[in-house]
Chains A and B, each alone.
Chain A
Amino acid sequence: MDMKTFEAGELRIEIKIAAGHVRLTWLGQSNERDPSSVLRPFFDEVARLLSKEREIELDFREFDYMNSSTFRPILSFVQNASKSSRSVNVRYDSQKNWQRLSFKTLQAVAASLGNVRVES
C-alpha cells in the first residue's frame, strides 16, 4: 500500500493507494477563496489512478469544515470518478450536523450517477 498526503492551506487529504482501492481521507478545513483552482489539479492526479478495477473512497468523517465553493469541485470529481472507477464510496459523519445535511443532498443526486454510494 502506498500513502501520500496532499496539503493546501488548512486542508489535508491523505491518499492511500492499494491494488483495488484508492482512499482519500479529508482532514482540516477547505476555506480557500477558489477551492477549484486548488483541488482540480489534485483531482486530475487522482483520476490517473482510477480504473474499472479500482474503487475510490472519499472519507469526510474527520473533516471539520468546507465552504460552499468546495462542493463544486468535489461533485465534479465524484461525477467523473463514477465513470472511470468501479465504484465511488463517500463516507460522512451523521453526528456532525453540517455533514449530515450536506451529504444528504449529495445522496439525493448520487442515484443518477449509478455506482456512487453516500453513507455514514
Chain B
Amino acid sequence: MTDIAIERRMRLPPSWGLIERVRATVSEALARASADVRDAAVMVASELAENAIKYGEALADDECGYVTLSVGPQLISIRSLNGVSSMERVRDVVQRIDTIAKAESAEALYVARLREMLETPSDSASHLGLLRIAYEGGFRLSCAYEAPVLTIIAEREWT
C-alpha cells in the first residue's frame, strides 16, 4: 500500500448527505490499507467534513468547503478547507488545535472533556470531533488561516 500515491478532492456543498460520499470515497481510496488505518481515515475525513458543512461559509465558488485526501509513501494527510469570517470562530479552532497538539496525551484530554460534559449536562455541544481525530484516529492536527479560508490538517504515518 505504501508505494501508492493517492489524491482525492471532495467538494462540499452545504448538504449533510455529502458526508456519506466523503466516507465512501476515503474508504475506497484506502481499500488496500489495514482496516484500522482505513477506519481511522474515514472517521477523520467524516469529522472534518461535518465541521466544514456545519460551520463553513461559502467560498468564491459557492461551495462551503473541501476535504482532500493525500496518501504518500509514509504519510496520510486529510485536509478540510472552508470559509470562516468570524475571527472568534477562527481563534476557537486555533486554540483547540494548539491545546491538542501540545498535550502529552490526547486520551487524557478526551476523558477530561467527557467529565466536563457530565458536569454540564445542559451544554448540548460535544466538542469531541477534533479530540477524536487526535485520540481515536492517531492523527496530528494543525491549522492555517488565510482570510477567509480556514484549513485544518490531519496527518499520520501509516504505522
Contacts and interface: CB of A to CB of B under 8 A. Distances in A.
Interface string A28-52: 0001110010000000000000000
A89 interface: no
A94 interface: no
A29 to B, nearest CB: 9
A19 interface: no
B43 interface: yes
Contacts of B114: 71, 75, 105-106, 108-109
A113 B114 CA distance: 12
A89 B157 CA distance: 36
Nearest to B46: A67
- Which secondary structure dominates where chain B touches chain A? helix
A8 interface: no
B118 interface: yes
- Which secondary structure dominates where chain A touches chain B? helix
A102 B117 contact: no
B46 A112 contact: no
Give the bracket for the number of chain A residues in contact with chain B.
Answer: 20 to 34
Given A105-B110, A108-B114, A31 B40 contact: no
Contacts of B129: 67-69
A108 B115 CA distance: 9
Interface in A67-120: 67-69, 71-72, 75-76, 79, 97-98, 101-102, 104-106, 108-109, 112-113
Interface stretch (B67-75, B87-95, B119-127, B144-152): B119-127
A68 B54 CA distance: 13
Contacts of B39: 97-98
13 contacts: A33-B54, A67-B50, A68-B47, A69-B126, A71-B126, A72-B125, A79-B121, A97-B36, A98-B40, A105-B107, A105-B114, A106-B114, A112-B115
Interface of B: 16, 19-20, 35-36, 39-40, 43, 46-47, 50, 53-54, 107, 110-111, 114-115, 117-118, 121, 124-126, 128-129, 131-132, 135-136
Given A65-B43, A75-B117, A105-B135, 5 more contacts: A67-B50, A71-B128, A97-B40, A98-B39, A108-B114
